[in-house]
Amino acid sequence: MQNIDLICVGKLNAKYFAEGVAEYQKRLAAFASFRIVELPEEKIEEKNASDAVVKKALDKEGRAILGSVRKGAAIVALCIEGKQISSEELAQFLADRANSGAGDVAFVIGSSHGLSDEVKRAAALRFSMGRITMPHQLARLVLTEQIYRACTINAGMKYHK
* pLDDT for the residue numbered 134: 86
Q: In this structure, are residues 73 and 118 in contact, taking their beta carbons and an 8 Å threshold?
A: no
* pLDDT for the residue numbered 45: 79
Is 132 a known ligand-binding residue?
A: yes
* pLDDT for the residue numbered 154: 95
* pLDDT for the residue numbered 141: 97
CATH number of 3-155: 3.40.1280.10
Query: Side by side, which strands form the sheet with 74-84?
Result: 33-39, 3-9, 105-109, 74-84, 125-128
Q: In this structure, are residues 144 and 24 in contact, taking their beta carbons and an 8 Å threshold?
A: yes
Is 157 a known ligand-binding residue?
A: no
Is 144 a known ligand-binding residue?
A: no
User: Where would I find the beta strands (DSSP E) of 1-158?
Assistant: 3-9, 33-39, 74-84, 105-109, 125-128
* Nearest in space to 143 (alpha carbons), one of 2, 7, 1: 7
- Average pLDDT across each block of 10 residues of the chain; the chain has 161 residues. List them in order: 94 94 97 96 84 92 97 94 95 92 91 94 95 90 97 90 68
Is 130 a known ligand-binding residue?
A: yes
* pLDDT for the residue numbered 103: 85
Is 4 a known ligand-binding residue?
A: no
